[in-house]
Amino acid sequence: MHDSVLQTLALIQRRADDPQAVVQLARAQERDLRSWLFEGRAPGEADASSFAEGVREIQRDVEARHGVPVEVVTVGDCPLDEHVAALLAAAREATVNGAKWSGASVISVFAEVEADKVNVAVRDRGKGFDPDAVPGDRKGVAESIRGRMSRHGGEASIQSAPGEGTKVTLTMPRTALSESGGRAQKTAEGKRR
């Protein structure tokens, strides 16, 4: 842990003339320190089976690749399965789209695990767009978000308007999907499985 902090401080000193790089380094170090202090996880240690860690991975990756801060709030956690992994992939696409195209100074991600579903909301207060005016050859929203969620039994809602920012809301049921039709199966007791 000490070596990581020392290396980051040395990089900050070397990049003192690049405020954006300094902010990125400081944010990354802050996340590592919080993870170590509050979760007992050493820097760089990841739990690939955790939804909350998947959300934090999106945060780290988008900030590193696009230089836009991503503020994350997670409530609850659950193990990953193929459907929750698809939800994370759609959330990543929404977060990347916000970082690349919105012009917003920060992207907000709220992720919540409930007993029967997992929700992610990705919000930016950027320039927004008209979802109905997206050209047909642009597949990011249609396939990487809506299509992916639909194929795994989830739902995607996109609210945006020029000048008003964008909010992408993703919901995935915490149920096993049947092999035929992608609908949730119910057990004899009426509960979804």
Instruction: Give me the CATH number covering residue 70.
Output: 3.30.565.10
Q: How many C-beta atoms surround the C-beta of residue 150 within 10 A? A: 15
Q: Are 70 and 99 contacting, i.e. CB atoms less than 8 angstroms apart?
A: yes
Are 103 and 24 within one domain?
Answer: no
Q: Is the pLDDT of residue 191 over 50?
A: no
Q: Does residue 106 share a domain with residue 58? A: yes
Beta strands across the sheet bearing 70-75: 70-75, 107-113, 117-124, 166-173, 155-160
| 33 and 62 part of one domain | no
Q: Is 192 exposed, middle or buried (CB count within 10 Å of its CB: 0-12, 13-18, 19+)?
A: middle
Kindly state whether residues 62 and 92 are assigned to the same domain.
Answer: yes
pLDDT at position 8: 65
Q: Are residues 24 and 119 in the same domain?
A: no
pLDDT given at position 150: 94
Same domain, yes or no: 165 and 70 = yes
Provide the pairing of β-strand 155-160 with 107-113.
Answer: unpaired
One-letter identity of residue 17: D
Residues 143, 65 share a domain: yes
Q: Are residues 35 and 63 in the same domain?
A: no
CA distances from 68 to 9, 23, 59 (A): 21, 10, 10
For residue 166, give the nearest of 118, 77, 100, 119 by alpha carbon: 100
Same domain membership, residue 130 and residue 101? yes
Judge whether residue 185 has pLDDT over 80: no
pTM here? 0.71
pLDDT bin (cut points 50, 70, 90) of residue 13 is confident
Ranges 4-13, 18-27, 116-125, most confident: 116-125
Mean per-residue pLDDT over the chain, rounded: 80
Same domain, 41 and 73: no
Average the pLDDT over 181-185 and give the result.
Answer: 43
- Nearest-angstrom CA–CA distance, 136 and 9: 47
The predicted model gives 79-101 an average pLDDT of 93
179: pLDDT strictly greater than 80: no
Phi and psi (nearest 5°) for 124?
-130, 155
Q: Is the pLDDT of residue 184 over 60?
A: no
Regarding whether 58 and 10 lie in a shared domain, the answer is no
Taking residues 133-154, report their average pLDDT: 84
| Residue 5 belongs to domain spanning | 1-45
Share of the chain above pLDDT 70, in %: 75
Answer yes or no: do 147 and 87 share one domain.
yes
DSSP alpha helix (H) spans, the chain = 2-14, 19-39, 51-66, 82-101, 148-151
Mean pLDDT computed over 164-171: 96
User: Other CB atoms closer than 10 Å to residue 62's CB: what's the count?
Assistant: 21
pLDDT in tens, 27-62: 777 766 776 676 665 554 455 578 999 999 999 888
Averaged pLDDT for residues 132-150: 82
**Beta pairing class for 107-113 and 117-124:** antiparallel
